[in-house]
Amino acid sequence: MTDTPMLNEWYPVGILTQLTKAGRDTLLMGEAINVACDSLGAPVVSAEDGRTLPVRARYGHVWTSLGSPTKELFDIPEADQPGRRLVDVGVVRVKCSPLRAVENFLDIAHFPFVHTDILGAEPHTEVQRYEVQIREEVDEVWATKVKFYQPQAAKSAAGGITTDYMYRVPAPTVSILYKTCPPRPGEWDVITLFVQPMAEDLCQVWPWMALFDDQTPMTDLIHFQQMIFLQDRSILENQLPRLLPLDPGMEIPTRADMTSVAYRRWLKRHGFTYGAQLVAA
Amino acid sequence: MALSRDVPPQVVIPTFVDGRELAVWRSQSGRIAAWDDRCPHRGMRLSHGFVRGESLSCIYHGWSYNEAGLCQRIPAHPDLVPPEAIRVPTVAAVESDGIIWVASEPASQPPPTLTGLVALRSLTVEAPATAIATAAGMPIDQDGALRPDLAGIACVLLVQPIPGDRTVLHVLVASNASPAAQAAVSRALEDLRRRVESERLAA
Amino acid sequence: MILYDYILSPDCYKVRLLAALTGARITLRPVDFHPGGEHKTAPFLAMNPSGTIPIFEDDGLILTESSAILTYLAAKAGPAWLGDDTPAMRGRVAQWLAFSQRLSASIGKARVHDMLNKPADIQACRRAGTQCLREIEAALVEQRLAGHAFLAGDRPTIADIACFPHSMLAPDGGISVDPYPSIRLWTRSIRALPGFIEMPGIHRLHDLKPEPGPIPERV
């Protein structure tokens, strides 16, 4: 069944600097599309039936939609802030629900066990109380005042620090993380997870970053983020059920999962159910 | 469903009973347990988890469960006593003669006696049990076993059907078989599997 | 000693792992393999015309095959890892080093297909990968019957390092490792070695660490 609210959303389908005229075939919500560029280098996305799909070129990526977007692509003001390095991390395919990929990105309690000695380590496993809200005026999920002890929070971090985080969900398959910036106290590093839903249980993930870090070579930044995401991949491919359960009863949240609870509630409210299951199986 | 030797202390393995996915694990003190292969928190497979002492922990968030399947620790909230409602469904598991047996329903009878035998290995065949019985030239007996001679050695092949029309064979040989003879049986099993699978491919 | 390295490459990881296990000091030079394709650029092709990584450089010597790098690094930093106690053991080590190429060509290819969208005949790769895992499983059974816990003998050698990463990472390419109890125990004993390091997709053994504190008590 086609999910109309999600059909009208924007999705990442390619890296702007890697487009070719011949294009690349991929899938968006089960539909075959081709992502290419014209002779001037502008992105062109076409569907199998010949339709030309709407396109946006933003945050290093090509964005498109199978439907008629009612909203403009979300804004990340930090993307235009001078002094930031913009990092295209590259695509990773995962056999999981696109919504499970986003939910995992919103989770900090797994750091000591999945990103051991990098983003977390025993015995520093406690998740302090933080704040979560659905900001009605912008219709986004926000988690703020999140704190976690990290042995090596970023490529530029020398030792363990308590890192501050904020999370933002501006679209059903997009999550933006704001994180303590070791070289520039007072600023936030921006790390995003842009997810392309290929099918309800298959997605492509395009992480992207806007960092204040003049020191670390670009390749090291890319490897660090790929390492983190690939540690998550073996988790994401082994969750049951494959689809994200939106109704309570199937999974048991705790206080540390408040962001996930709000995300699921927000998805359900909007009918964003591509990759979700509504009734406990 | 597994050889005892393949599940030493602190090891967790995935398996099936009646199509249901299970995590079977052995505690540090040697206790064997069979649970649903799913953490109630976020649905992660517990067969990817880790064993400390007498408890099994999920690899995702480290939630740990005691021998009864009851959640006893949530690392994100170290001081919290988890509600008793957080538990993993368990099934009965017993060990006898070097084999681990599980039953999703209360078993009406104990597992068959397999004395005078030693467990050799388990191997998965991409074919249903009936195809293996045909290739072995004998029916599966009331113990769920085939009893062919392989490489001149009397063998017992315990048959475990698993989803996807596949079968796991848990193989025991006479306990007086030398290591070289056991290796010959292992090669004969590979040969049996090749025959069964190529016949299936041809059909 | 310089290793031109990619964090997600099992062949690069073999070298990092052996260096960690032997205490050898190597300098890592990250290569933008994905998405940049830096290994196919002129400076890298000048070092390695085949356009692959790892590339290993030491004192003018350049090696580009992971099995050759393992052999060189072991000879230099930990000769016991060469496993040349007897002609038979030496033969087995060489056998598995050569075999590891089949793992790269099957499981390795399936993995970059499923993960990074690289082209491959995925069904053929998975079939070949499954066949490789079955061969390792059968070999480990026979090694056990001979009283040996590792591929070439009673202690780990570069044969194990060469075959370990792909054997664990097969699920990344849609190849199950569930049917192989001997591979499970063998990979566990490698992960338990002192100095072991992980790579994404190969988690460390959390069970080697004690619980960090007492279990909260029910009152």
For residue A2, name the pLDDT band (cuts at 50, 70, 90). Answer: low
**Distance between CA C6 and CA C27 in Å, rounded?**
13
Per-residue confidence (pLDDT) for residue A249, from 0 to 100: 85
Same-domain status, C116 and C42:
no
| Residue B142 CA: distances (Å) to CA of B139, B171, C219 | 9, 16, 49
Q: Report CA torsion sign: B114, B117, B119, B122.
A: negative
Domain ranges of chain B: 2-103, 117-202
Q: CA–CA separation, B61 vs C101, rounded Å?
A: 36
ipTM: 0.96
Distance from CA of A112 to the nearest CA of B (A): 8
Q: Does the residue C214 lie in any domain?
A: no
Reduced to 3 states (helix: H, G, I; strand: E, B; else coil), residue A191 is strand
Residues of B in contact with A245 (CB under 8 A): 43
* β partners of residue B169: B123, B159
Q: CA-CA distance, C59 to B29, in Å (whole number)?
A: 52
Fold matches, B2-103 and B117-202: no
Cα separation, A253 vs A107, whole angstroms: 11
Structural domain of C65: 2-80
C99 and C186 both lie in a single domain: yes
Mean pLDDT score across all residues of chain B: 96
ω into C181 cis (within 30 of 0): no
Q: Is C6 on the interface with A (CB under 8 A)?
A: yes
The residues, any chain, with a CB within 8 Å of residue A94's CB and separated by 6 or more, are A101, A202, A203, A204, A205, A233, A236, A237
Please state, in angstroms and as integers, the Cα–Cα distance from residue A3 to each residue in A98, A268, A276, C155, following that order: 14, 12, 10, 56
Q: Is the dihedral of CA A251, A256, A260, A265 positive or negative?
A: positive
Q: Which of C60, C80, C100 is the last residue of a domain?
A: C80
**Distance of alpha carbon B15 from alpha carbon B40, whole angstroms:** 18
Task: State which of C80, C96, C121 marks the end of a domain.
Answer: C80
Pick the residue from chain A with its C-alpha nearest to C168.
Answer: A234
Q: Average pLDDT, stretch B10-38? A: 97
Could you tell me if residue C137 is inside a domain? Answer: yes
Which chain C positions have a beta carbon within 8 Å of A231's beta carbon? 200-201, 203
What's the mean pLDDT in A20-49?
Answer: 96
Nearest to B59 by CA among A114, A167, A26: A114
What average pLDDT score do residues C12-25 get?
Answer: 98
Beta bridge partners of A28: A31
Q: State residue A183's pLDDT score.
A: 80
Distances (CA, A) of A117 to A181, A189, A257, B44, C192: 19, 20, 22, 21, 17
Domain total in chain C: 2
Residues C19 and C109 in one domain: no
Q: Can you read off the two tokens belonging to residue A29?
A: 């919500």
Place of tokens 């040349």: C84
Structure tokens at B166: 């596949």
What's the per-residue H, E or C state across C117-138? CCCCCHHHHHHHHHHHHHHHHH
Please tell me whether residues C178 and C95 are part of one structural domain.
yes
Of A93, A217, A231, the CB nearest to C114: A93
| pLDDT for the residue A1 | 46
Question: Domain spanning B2-103: which CATH class is it, in words?
Answer: mainly beta
**CB–CB contacts below 8 A, A to C:** 71
- Three-class secondary structure of residue C8 per DSSP: coil
Distance CA C11, CA C21 (A): 16
Q: Name chain C contacts of B186, Cβ cutoff 8 Å.
A: 138, 141-142, 145
C70 and C155 in a single domain? The answer is: no
The token duo for A253 is 């949240």
pLDDT at C219: 63
- Which residues on chain B are in Cβ contact (under 8 Å) with A106? none
Dihedral of the alpha carbons of B100, B103, B106, B112, in degrees to the nearest 10: -50
- A184 confidence band (pLDDT: 50, 70, 90): confident
- Touching partners of C (3+ C-beta pairs < 8 Å): A, B
Partner B contacted by C182 (CB < 8 A): yes
- Nearest Cβ partner for A109 among B40, B44, B76: B76
Regarding predicted confidence, which is higher, B105 or C166?
A: C166
Q: Which tokens sit at A245? A: 């359960």
Task: Report whether pLDDT(A3) > 70.
Answer: no
Domain B117-202 adopts which CATH fold?
Alpha-Beta Plaits (3.30.70)
Chain B residue numbers with beta carbons less than 8 Å from the beta carbon of C209 are 52
Residue C145 lies in a domain: yes
In chain B, pLDDT over 90 holds for what percent of residues?
Answer: 92
Distance CA A25, CA A13 (A): 10
Does pLDDT of A273 surpass 80? Answer: yes
Instruction: Return the pLDDT at C108.
Output: 98
Please name the member of B13, B80, B182 whose beta carbon is closest to the beta carbon of C184: B13
The residue among C80, C104, C129 that closes a domain is C80
What amino acid is encoded at C211 in this protein? E
| Token pair 């070695």: residue | C193
Residue C151 belongs to domain with CATH number: 1.20.1050.10
Per-residue pLDDT band at A52 (split at 50, 70, 90): very high
Residues C113 and C45 in one domain: no
What's the CATH number where C26 sits? Answer: 3.40.30.10
The single residue listed with the structure tokens 């990773």 is A92
Measure in Å the smallest separation between the Cα of C158 and chain A Cα atoms.
25
Q: What percent of chain B has pLDDT over 70?
A: 100
Q: How many CB atoms lie within 10 A of CB A23?
A: 17
Confidence tier at B200 by pLDDT (50, 70, 90): confident
Q: Tell whether the model's pLDDT for residue A280 goes beyond 70.
A: no
Shared-domain flag, residues C93 and C169: yes
**Mean pLDDT of the residues in chain A:** 94
Does residue C218 form part of some domain?
Answer: no
Q: What is the pLDDT of residues C32-66, one digit of tens each?
A: 999 999 999 999 999 999 999 999 999 999 999 99
**Residue written as token pair 């004395």:** B115
Q: Do residue B80 and residue C216 have CB atoms under 8 angstroms apart?
A: yes
Does B110 score more than 70 pLDDT?
A: yes
Asked whether residue C63 falls in the same domain as residue C100, the answer is no
**Residues shown for chain C:** 219
* Tokens standing for residue A247: 């109704």
Q: Using one digit for the tens of pLDDT, what is the confidence trace for A72-97?
A: 999 999 999 999 999 999 999 999 99
Beta bridge partners of B23: B14, B35
Asked if the model's pLDDT at residue A206 lies above 60, the reply is: yes
- Do C71 and C93 sit in the same domain of this protein? no
Whether A91 and A29 have beta carbons less than 8 Å apart is answered as no
Residue with tokens 């599997």: B193
Domains parsed from chain A with CATH numbers: 1-73 (2.20.25.680), 76-277 (3.90.380.10)
- Position A38 scores a pLDDT of 96
Q: Looking at the structure, tell me whether residues C122 and C57 fall in a common domain.
A: no
Those residues whose C-beta lies under 8 Å from the C-beta of residue B126, and which sit 6 or more positions away, are B165, B166, B197, B200
Q: CA–CA separation, A34 vs A51, rounded Å?
A: 11
Do residue C122 and residue C146 come from a single domain? Answer: yes
Residue length of chain B: 203
Residue in chain B lying closest to C127 (CA): B126
